[in-house]
Structure 1
Amino acid sequence: MKQTFTTSQKIRQMLVILLPILITQIALFSMSFFDTTMSGHASPVDLAGVAIGVSIWTPINTGVTGILLAVTPIIAQLLGSKRKEQIPEKIVQAIYLGVIIAISIIIIGIFTLGPILNLMSLDPDVHDIAHRFLVAISIGIVPLFIYTVLRCFIDAHGYTRITMFITLMTLPINIILNYLLIFGKFGFPKLGGVGSGYASAVTYWIILLITVFFIWRKQPFAELRIFSRLYRISLRAWKEILKIGVPIGFAIFFETAVFATVTLLMSQFNTTTIAAHQAANNFASFLYMVPMSISMGLTILVGYEVGAKRLKDAKIYSYLGICLAIFLSLLCAIGLLVFTKEIAGFYTTDAAVLALAQQFLIYALFFQLSDAIAAPIQGALRGYKDVNSSLIMAFVSYWIISLPLGYYLANYTDLQAFGYWIGLNSGLAAGAIFLLIRLITLQRKHERMNADRASS
């Protein structure tokens, strides 16, 4: 990370940080992508079971790990303000917090997983696969949360290529494990969709070990000696992380939970509809990696500039990121429109699921523009350590607008399952408008404060 002076320098630095994040996010998501697609080729029942399991796991995973994303702006601002000596304790305290949260999730899951699944009207085979999938993936929760902290630490330095390299190293391992455990190849047990849960859990352990090795051996991380000292638990440090991280986590949870809730509500329809919805939803989430990656990059860039008191540069980065996201989203939408049938074919060979998935994918087109505006703005706001506005936006747009509207359209009109997708699109659009207004207001506030300090 370094100071930039021209727009071209900013674009270059943004791309240097952004592209590895994008590749990393695509690689991480590809684990879920291959879990879903390979399970779908095992059988529609396996696809539906994994879909239910993923719909429960995803909001928990993304929401709780979202709390740990507070590490990125905290470390970025420390680097921008030249206070590197404070970093080691911040990271160790975040690891402590991550482990405590992960163990808590496992304990809560032991008592609640069965009752949650029992509340759903699932085919017995789908119920069984979903339950065993979640038990399998729980083996990797602790290493996943620790890795999240360490990844934020690396990325905040601007060395996003390192996390890209680590993730790309582990992706083939995940695919191979999926192949062995889902289909029972080379003497391994044939577990179907459940095998993808075990494959992901093992992969999480491997990716953590590789990350620890890089931080221990490679500069500039090695000089900070993150693992050389065990600090006492500091509730003050935890409070700082939670103050920023809890709103981030809940905002992400509200977003992913509404998509998961829609998937659960789809259980009122048949297995074909559940499988087709999950296929389209999975690919829409795959495309979301583009604006999400830009969002993560902007948190680093904006946080660094805000820490250095260069507010004008922070503002320029914000709008460069939004423009780039809109441009790329339009390209993705065109590709989705042209190759709808081929994309649906990635997930299933079942004719009924294939036909219905293509219809759901058309609705996914409209996700692109709203996500291209909302996600980068969320990243920029986190760089300013402004996190409560995203939390409010997520709750209102998804749970006050999206879900009630979708439920009404799905149950009281002829749209049926498609009504939920229309509701989601409406909430996304409303959220994007709200966040844009918030970003403009916040930047003007900072400009006035900066002007007042200069005049005094």
Structure 2
Amino acid sequence: MQLQAYTKEFSKNLQLAFPVMMGQLGHVLVGLVDNLMIGRLGPASLAAVSLGNSMIFIALSMGIGFSFAITPLIAEADGAKDIKNGRSYFHHGLILCTINGILLFLVLLIAKPVLYYLDQPPEVVELALPYLNIVAFSMVPLMIFQAFKQFADGLSQTKYAMYATLIANVVNVVFNYILIYGVWIFPRLELEGAAIGTLISRFFMLWFIWEILRRKKKFAEYFKWGRKEALNSKVFKRLLNLGFPTALQMLFEVAIFTATVFLAGLLGTNPQAANQIALNLASMTFMIAVGLGVTATIRVGNQKGLAQFKDLRRIALSTFLLVFLIEAVFALAFILLKDWLPTFYIDNAEVILLSAQLLVVAALFQLSDGLQVVILGALRGLQDVKVPTLICFISYWIIGFPVSWYFGKAKMMGSMGIWLGLLAGLSASALLLYFRFNYLSKKLILKNYKLAQSKI
């Protein structure tokens, strides 16, 4: 098949992906703003945010992964023009995401004492706990927001979540500034001020997307509630069957990145601060890939609803090619700007040098990281989640983590060794997930061909 068959899909892919990219970047920018403002308070404060967010990110990955179950079901129903089922998936997903947000908040509160047993610098732990208390509560509005977002994404209406997230970031910046440093009549709260700013911005984000969606004519049919459909156990079960493995996929990946925070903490405060800077920069480029991953889910789900499996494969491959090209540009940028980018976060020569070294490895895993998340999105569109979950576990925890643990010791390669483990895990994941998609898409095409032949 000619290259043009894939490249002609780039425009539509980017049209869908761009708002998702901006929305996902908005989530990361909340952390970026916290890091930039808190970095001026010193390495210990920056390391404390890193440590507190490491627990938040684990919970966040579970919650967001769970909510991803809504998108392929809505996309398939939309492709089949089935509003009734689409509405049911939305309502059930909203209920489950609300319960999920409350449970994650409670789990984070219960898990706080774990920080004392991770062999982290004591001053970092003491600073992290108050920050964690407040940000944990923001999981409730954030998970409800995710239900609305994934619903709108499934209908290919990706721009509304982008608007909500970007405006919420402005709210976050304002409250961060006045509460971290104590501007005008407001007290100087430092790390707790950053946490309060995040909490306020997430409640605002939820209010905004709810307000804008309920007023749009396109969504009117979906906002009609019925008591019986809210109690349909079969729909809940289908969402759970898709959502739980997807949440585990997210958990396995985010947990290995979180493990780098703990491993870096064993090396000292400066390596941990450098690790946080490199992770924050890498996560911003990763959100671009996440946008294309959502696009792959939407478009593959639509084609599955239409039973157009040749187009499904071609469109999915076009998203793989597009993310490869984009991530190649980011990889080059990380290498060229490795000594300059860390200076935006902190004025500490050792931290800047360590961050620059890590960005070289981050540049190398941009390609595999981008590919694996987009291929996962395509498999999610096929509603194939169980085997990819096993692949993620093997890649990150059987292959990647042992490399990080062994080479990440101070007497070995230190921080660079930790990140080589990430490179190994992400590369294995991308390769194995591609084999899985290649097998399933060809199988669907062959099955459809045989069905067509039997009718002749």
- Distance in 2 (CA, whole Å) between partners of 1:315 and 1:126 is 49
Paired residue secondary structure (1:304) = helix
Residues 145 and 227 from structure 1, CA distance in 2 versus in 1: closer, same or farther, beyond 3 angstroms?
Answer: farther
| 1:279–1:357 Cα contact (<8 Å) kept | yes
Please, what TM-score do these two structures have when normalized by structure 2? Answer: 0.95
Give runs of aligned pairs for residues 110-189 of structure 1, distance below 5 A: 110-114=109-113, 116-189=114-187
| 2:14–2:292 Cα contact (<8 Å) kept | no
- Aligned equivalent of 1:450: 448
Greater Cα shift, 102-111 or 297-306: 102-111
Q: Give RMSD over aligned pairs.
A: 1.8
- Distance in 2 (CA, whole Å) between partners of 1:35 and 1:412 is 29
Residues 171 and 183 from structure 1, CA distance in 2 versus in 1: closer, same or farther, beyond 3 angstroms?
Answer: same
- Aligned equivalent of 2:297: 299
- Aligned equivalent of 1:11: 10
How many Å apart are 1:9 and its aligned residue? 6.1
- Aligned equivalent of 1:56: 55
Whether 2:403 is the aligned partner of 1:398: answer no
Cα shift readout 1:112-140 (whole Å, capped 9, x = no counterpart) = 212x0110223333112211111111221
- Distance in 2 (CA, whole Å) between partners of 1:230 and 1:131 is 43
Cα shift readout 1:82-113 (whole Å, capped 9, x = no counterpart) = 11122223222112111222222222233221
| 2:61–2:251 Cα contact (<8 Å) kept | yes
- Aligned equivalent of 1:83: 82
Paired residue secondary structure (1:366) = helix
Code of the residue aligned with 1:311 in structure 2: it is F
Cα shift readout 1:254-282 (whole Å, capped 9, x = no counterpart) = 00001101211222111111101111111
Out of 218, 221, 232, the residue aligned to residue 220 of structure 1 is 218
- Distance in 1 (CA, whole Å) between partners of 2:180 and 2:315 is 44
- Aligned equivalent of 1:94: 93
- Distance in 1 (CA, whole Å) between partners of 2:251 and 2:401 is 14
- Distance in 2 (CA, whole Å) between partners of 1:121 and 1:7 is 50
Residues 357 and 20 from structure 1, CA distance in 2 versus in 1: closer, same or farther, beyond 3 angstroms?
Answer: same
Residues 435 and 176 from structure 1, CA distance in 2 versus in 1: closer, same or farther, beyond 3 angstroms?
Answer: same
Whether 2:251 is the aligned partner of 1:253: answer yes
- Distance in 1 (CA, whole Å) between partners of 2:369 and 2:56 is 22
- Distance in 2 (CA, whole Å) between partners of 1:107 and 1:7 is 46
How many Å apart are 1:232 and its aligned residue? 3.9
Whether 2:27 is the aligned partner of 1:37: answer no
Code of the residue aligned with 2:10 in structure 1: it is I
- Aligned equivalent of 2:103: 104
- Aligned equivalent of 1:386: 384
- Distance in 2 (CA, whole Å) between partners of 1:400 and 1:273 is 25
Paired residue secondary structure (1:444) = helix
- Aligned equivalent of 1:3: none
Out of 337, 356, 376, the residue aligned to residue 358 of structure 1 is 356
- Distance in 1 (CA, whole Å) between partners of 2:410 and 2:39 is 31
- Distance in 1 (CA, whole Å) between partners of 2:224 and 2:295 is 23
Greater Cα shift, 205-214 or 165-174: 165-174
- Distance in 2 (CA, whole Å) between partners of 1:219 and 1:31 is 31
Whether 2:215 is the aligned partner of 1:192: answer no
| 2:260–2:275 Cα contact (<8 Å) kept | no
Please, what TM-score do these two structures have when normalized by structure 1? Answer: 0.95
| 1:329–1:368 Cα contact (<8 Å) kept | yes
How many Å apart are 1:7 and its aligned residue? 5.9
- Aligned equivalent of 1:312: 310
Cα shift readout 1:233-269 (whole Å, capped 9, x = no counterpart) = 3332221111011111100100000110121122211
Residues 125 and 190 from structure 1, CA distance in 2 versus in 1: closer, same or farther, beyond 3 angstroms?
Answer: farther
- Distance in 2 (CA, whole Å) between partners of 1:361 and 1:129 is 27
| 2:121–2:268 Cα contact (<8 Å) kept | no
How many Å apart are 1:165 and its aligned residue? 1.9
Code of the residue aligned with 1:78 in structure 2: it is A
Residues 43 and 412 from structure 1, CA distance in 2 versus in 1: closer, same or farther, beyond 3 angstroms?
Answer: closer
How many Å apart are 1:208 and its aligned residue? 0.5
Code of the residue aligned with 2:15 in structure 1: it is V
How many Å apart are 1:229 and its aligned residue? 6.2
- Distance in 1 (CA, whole Å) between partners of 2:417 and 2:6 is 43
- Distance in 1 (CA, whole Å) between partners of 2:81 and 2:309 is 17
Mark the runs of 5 or more structure 1 residues left unpaired by the alignment. 1-5
Paired residue secondary structure (2:409) = helix
Give runs of aligned pairs for residues 203-352 of structure 1, distance below 5 A: 203-226=201-224, 232-352=230-350
- Aligned equivalent of 2:199: 201
How many Å apart are 1:412 and its aligned residue? 7.9
Residues 108 and 7 from structure 1, CA distance in 2 versus in 1: closer, same or farther, beyond 3 angstroms?
Answer: closer
- Distance in 1 (CA, whole Å) between partners of 2:230 and 2:296 is 32
Number of equivalenced pairs:
451
Cα shift readout 1:346-399 (whole Å, capped 9, x = no counterpart) = 211122212221111111111111113211111111111111232112100110
Residues 359 and 11 from structure 1, CA distance in 2 versus in 1: closer, same or farther, beyond 3 angstroms?
Answer: closer
Residues 238 and 223 from structure 1, CA distance in 2 versus in 1: closer, same or farther, beyond 3 angstroms?
Answer: closer
| 2:327–2:367 Cα contact (<8 Å) kept | yes
Paired residue secondary structure (1:411) = coil
